[in-house]
Amino acid sequence: MSADPWRRILDEVTGVAGVRGALIVSSEDGLVVAEAAMASLETADVAALAAGLASRAGRVARVAGASAPTSVRLTAERGSVIAVAGDAQLWLVAITDPSAELGRLRILLGDLAATLG
Amino acid sequence: MRVLEPWLADPLAELLRESSARLALVMTSSGQVIAQHGFTRSLDVMAAAALGAGILATTGELARVVGSGRGFGAVVHQGSAQGVWLAGFDTPRGRWIGLVVFGRESSVGLVRMFFERFADTVTLVAPPVTAVREVLAEGFERELDASLRALFGRS
Amino acid sequence: MARLAADGVSLTVTLVIFGPSRSGKSSLLRGVHDRLGDGPGTVRMADATPFSPLDWLAIDLGVIGGRNATVHLYAVPGLAAYDSTRRLLLSQADGVVFLADSQGSRLEANLDALRQLQDHVLAREGDMRELPIVFLYTKQDLPSDLVLPLAALDEALNFRNAPSFTGDALRGTGVRDALQAALTLVLRRLAVTTEPADVAGFGAG
């Protein structure tokens, strides 16, 4: 997939109210592949930690006898991070503030992540 | 863990712990090891440090050739099972180099992130160099002669 | 730079084997390594690879002047492509063993290497007059009509009347004497210093 479809994906995610940033992350390296985010967001760090979190979640799932996780959601007082697995070892990650509608966002991310790779 | 400067111990431990890397070496620009932590028994530490310093020096020349005047910040060698991160950083004690070996439980992104924090911490916490008195005791020339005779005399 | 560890006991000295290409730098290190053997904790070696141009040898000298002393010897190929590696090493070096090829046909190459050494030292705001250096003239065993005598080599290259030796990098003759002279020069400088800025060595780098 070329950079333009990625740009469209990211624009759609950041178009949702409450989303502060959207990343496409390489799960193996924890590196940003594409991003659209507010300047205050440390996207490289988010990518690294989100990929690390997804990797740990995968290990927990394996130990528990479950299949590989398709999404990881971290919710805190001042916002959330939602990561959804796409194809080709890419994850679509959204960083939100507390006002975001997480349910609707999760569905959107799932639909978009399926087109990655 | 082995550190020549005790204040390096905590930052180095944090680097390895947070990044889930397997081992980390800190060395001078000429490859002299200052600190090591992790599975260092699995490799020849001094050789790894010397080679790492050489690789960074070589890539510095590559950076010059391709017009990247300030050089490359870091070099990553990625294998099928593990990778190696090499990066130079400035400290109050001079230019140092970090070498981090990581496996599938970590990633380039994590190593980069926590290595940058490690470098920042080192810059902040490095104590000033204290004055050194009487660097060498008398009679060192005699001892040097005896040492070299003993080393070169045996074969 | 000569490194005194914070424990106050360990001392590490760095010597760079410098000289034109094919003067025997790698052979010298290999010869020292083979002669000293792989005794436990005594000698470590790494050969140059496509990814790292350094030949490196570490020797544990034992206790010298109350310090546990180790000397690191580095050799870098003389090719122009490794100029930045040579520059980097020299910024950290305490002393130099200059390996000169005694053949008359290689005099210009020796001079080029010496000029390069001077350029690197100047680039680090160092002073060539203060650089601990010894000269080792190799290949004196070649037919006499091919090589320059020691006096002529000293005249052409040894501008500071530094210690000079003839030797054979492959067989090791003269090598121990040259290393001892270089280490003595370095350690003498250390012995009279009292401030860490002086311990850093001949350059500001």
Please give the backbone phi and psi of residue C126, each rounded to the nearest 5 degrees, phi first. -95, 180
Please give, rounded to a whole number of angstroms, the shortest distance from the CA of C165 to a CA of chain B: 17
pLDDT over threshold 80, residue C42:
no
- Show residues of chain C in contact with B4, CB under 8 Å: 5-7, 10
pLDDT of residue C8: 62
CB C62 within 8 Å of CB B147: yes
Cα–Cα distances (Å) from A112 to A12, A97, C102, C141, in that order, read 9, 20, 72, 76
Q: Do the interacting molecules here have an ipTM over 0.85?
A: no
pLDDT over threshold 60, residue C5:
no
pLDDT over threshold 60, residue C39:
no
Mean pLDDT rounded to a whole number for chain A: 90
pLDDT over threshold 80, residue C123:
no
A24-56 exposure pattern, b = at least 16 Cβ within 10 A, e = fewer:
bbbbebbbbbbbbbeeeeebbbbbbbbbbbbbe
pLDDT over threshold 60, residue C25:
yes
Interface test with B, best of C4, C15, C51 (most B CBs within 10 A): C51
Please give the backbone phi and psi of residue B35, each rounded to the nearest 5 degrees, phi first. -155, 150
pLDDT of residue B18: 92
- Stretch (H or E) spanning B47: helix B45-65
Please give, rounded to a whole number of angstroms, the shortest distance from the CA of B100 to a CA of chain A: 15
Q: Decide if C64 and B136 are in contact by the 8 Å CB cutoff.
A: yes
pLDDT band at C140 (very low <50, low <70, confident <90, very high): confident
Residue B106: closest C-alpha in chain A: A52
- Determine whether B14 is exposed, middle or buried from the number of CB atoms within 10 Å of its CB (0-12, 13-18, 19+): middle
pLDDT of residue C128: 72
pLDDT of residue B33: 82
pLDDT of residue C96: 93
pLDDT over threshold 50, residue C197:
no
Please give the backbone phi and psi of residue C170, each rounded to the nearest 5 degrees, phi first. -75, -50
Amino acid at residue number C15: L
- Residue B64 has its nearest CB partner, among C36, C84, C183, at C84
Spatial distance between the Cα atoms of A27 and B144, rounded to a whole number of angstroms: 55
Find the mean pLDDT for residues A106-112: 94
Spatial distance between the Cα atoms of C91 and B58, rounded to a whole number of angstroms: 15
Residue B93: closest C-alpha in chain C: C200
pLDDT band at C1 (very low <50, low <70, confident <90, very high): low
- Show residues of chain B in contact with A28, CB under 8 Å: 107
Share above pLDDT 90 across residues of chain A, in percent, rounded to a whole number: 59
Nearest Cα to A13, choosing from A113, A109, A89, A116?
A109
CB C17 within 8 Å of CB C26: no
In the sheet with A79-85, reading across from the earlier edge strand, the strands are A31-37, A19-26, A90-96, A79-85, A71-76
pLDDT of residue B136: 67
pLDDT of residue C6: 46
- Determine whether A102 is exposed, middle or buried from the number of CB atoms within 10 Å of its CB (0-12, 13-18, 19+): middle
Collapse the DSSP code of A28 into the 3-class scheme (helix H, G, I; strand E, B; otherwise coil) and give the result: coil
Find the mean pLDDT for residues C166-174: 84
Higher pLDDT, residue C43 or A22: A22
Give pLDDT tens digits for A21-37.
999 999 989 999 999 99
Cα–Cα distances (Å) from B76 to B18, C69, C173, in that order, read 19, 33, 42
pLDDT of residue C120: 82
pLDDT of residue C200: 36
HSE toward the beta carbon, residue A69, CA cutoff 13 A: 21
- Show residues of chain C in contact with B129, CB under 8 Å: 196
Six token digits for residue C124: 């680090």
- Show residues of chain A in contact with B74, CB under 8 Å: none
Q: The pTM is what? A: 0.56
Q: Decide if B144 and C37 are in contact by the 8 Å CB cutoff.
A: no
pLDDT over threshold 80, residue C182:
yes
pLDDT over threshold 90, residue C201:
no
pLDDT over threshold 70, residue C64:
yes
pLDDT over threshold 80, residue A46:
yes
Mean pLDDT rounded to a whole number for chain C: 78
Higher pLDDT, residue C170 or B118: B118
pLDDT band at C168 (very low <50, low <70, confident <90, very high): confident
Q: Which stretches in chain B have pLDDT values below 50? A: 133, 155
Q: Decide if A31 and B110 are in contact by the 8 Å CB cutoff.
A: no
Spatial distance between the Cα atoms of C178 and C74, rounded to a whole number of angstroms: 15
Higher pLDDT, residue C52 or A113: A113
Mean pLDDT rounded to a whole number for chain B: 82
Higher pLDDT, residue A18 or C47: A18
**Is the pair A, C in contact (3+ CB pairs within 8 Å)?**
no
CB A30 within 8 Å of CB B104: no
pLDDT of residue B111: 95
**Which of B78-87, C82-91, C146-155 is predicted least confidently?**
C82-91
Share above pLDDT 70 across residues of chain A, in percent, rounded to a whole number: 97
CB C205 within 8 Å of CB C124: yes
Tell whether A52 lies on the interface with B, counting CB pairs under 8 A.
Answer: yes
SS (H, E, C) B101-145: EEECCCCHHHHHHHHHHHHHHHHHHCCCCCCCCCCCCCCHHHHHH
- Residue A48 has its nearest CB partner, among B104, B105, B110, at B110
C113: alpha, beta or left? (left if phi > 0; alpha if psi -120 to 50):
alpha
Nearest Cα to A16, choosing from A94, A116, A91?
A94
Give pLDDT tens digits for A61-84.
888 888 888 899 998 888 999 999
Q: Decide if A30 and B107 are in contact by the 8 Å CB cutoff.
A: yes
- Show residues of chain C in contact with B61, CB under 8 Å: 81-85
pLDDT over threshold 80, residue C195:
no
Please give, rounded to a whole number of angstroms, the shortest distance from the CA of A56 to a CA of chain B: 8
Six token digits for residue C193: 């210093």
pLDDT band at C43 (very low <50, low <70, confident <90, very high): low
